[in-house]
Amino acid sequence: MVVNLGTPDPSRPGALEVRKLGPLARMAPDPIKVVLNWGRRYSLWCFNFGLACCAIEFIAASMAKHDFIRLGVIPFAPGPRQADLMIVSGTVTDKMAPAVKRLYEQMPEPKYVISFGACSNSGGPYWDSYSVTKGVDQIIPVDVYVPGCPPRPEALLQGILKLQEKIARESLPAQYAAPAPAAVLSRPLVQAPAEGGDAS
């Protein structure tokens, strides 16, 4: 069995021009990449970060009527170290944002995030509150946004399908390269108390 790892190189007769896959060029031919992406696509361990009413819709999506296990999503991972999909559902406050970021950083690579609902997408009806983070994408990178207030369970199923399509298109070198840094906050999460102020 011959595995073609490149195209004929016109400058060197008989030689192949190696595809630009880095060190994985010799180890990951196309069929292997398809199998690896297929395995990651249909075995997403989900870590639910339910913060408000959208979490009820997430739970409904995992029940018998909608049953997202049939899509290859395993709900309720024991912790962030066993999960590769975080679904943030609900209002992310500035006080909760460091916890969301910490749990995201504990997840192993490759990891994905679905922002579920208007509150986690952009702050929702509470966008002008002093204590609400204006979208979870200010603290962690988001792969799929699911709109709605609250979104229906069918919308979450559609978001999972979109994420699976994205995973199927990924290349191995891009996936296992250095992770993208989380976005820099536009304002501090928690205001520091004033120094030396009186208590009155």
- Binding residues, as ranges, are 53-54, 119, 149
In this structure, what is the dihedral angle of CA atoms 149, 155, 159, 160, given to the nearest 10 degrees?
Answer: 130
Q: Summarize the annotated binding site for [4Fe-4S] cluster as residue ranges.
A: 53-54, 119, 149
Residue 95 CB: number of other CB atoms within 10 A? 11
Tell me the C-alpha distance between 143 and 158, whole Å.
Answer: 13
Q: What one-character DSSP code corresponds to residue 51?
A: -
DSSP code, position 132: B
Peptide bond before residue 193 is cis, with ω within 30 degrees of 0: no
